[in-house]
């Protein structure tokens, strides 16, 4: 599945499309180069899910926890600064991954061997026109 964001004004529409296509999946790895818009897109998705908390990059905290409109937790990870698999294990990554709650992960390749097989890859790529193309790969 693919969606093209031609301008920032389309973010709410893209987020709605994403939420409508999540199905029963809960683990999402957002992939793209630095500056591709991973955090910006996750913020829009969280807004679509009814999160009222401030959504920002967990680059230094590694994980931010938000509350969706339905009262359920949403976990937002940024593994860019994780130096080893053991570090992720030490902060309890498995408890989050197997919680059944939404997990939005940036730079998940850093801990890919710890991820269950059922995670969904969300690629964000800038095309030649400067648009962001979102691709969901289940």
The residues spanned by each domain of the chain are 2-137
pLDDT at 4: 96
For the stretch 78-132, pLDDT in tens is: 999 998 999 999 999 999 999 999 999 999 999 999 999 999 999 999 999 999 9
For the stretch 6-55, pLDDT in tens is: 999 999 999 999 999 999 999 999 999 999 999 999 999 999 999 999 99
For the domain 2-137, what is the CATH code?
3.40.50.300
3-state DSSP of 22-78: CCCCCEEEEECCCCCCHHHHHHHHHHHCCCCCCCCCCCCCCEEEEECCCCCEEEEEE
- Residue 70 near residue 99, CB atoms below 8 Å: no
Which of the four pLDDT bands, split at 50, 70 and 90, describes residue 59? Answer: confident
């Amino acid at each position: 599945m693919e969606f093209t964001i031609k301008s920032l004004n389309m973010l709410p529409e893209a987020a709605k499309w994403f939420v409508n296509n999540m199905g029963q999946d809960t683990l999402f790895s957002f992939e793209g180069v630095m500056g591709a818009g991973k955090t910006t897109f996750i913020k829009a998705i969280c807004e679509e899910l009814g999160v009222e908390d401030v959504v920002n990059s967990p680059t230094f905290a590694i994980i931010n926890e938000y509350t969706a409109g339905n009262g359920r937790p949403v976990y937002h990870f940024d593994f860019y600064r994780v130096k080893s698999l053991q570090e992720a294990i030490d902060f309890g990554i498995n408890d989050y991954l197997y919680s059944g709650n939404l997990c939005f992960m940036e730079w998940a390749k850093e801990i890919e061997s710890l991820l269950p097989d059922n995670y969904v890859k969300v690629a964000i790529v800038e095309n030649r026109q400067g648009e962001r193309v979102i691709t969901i790969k289940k």
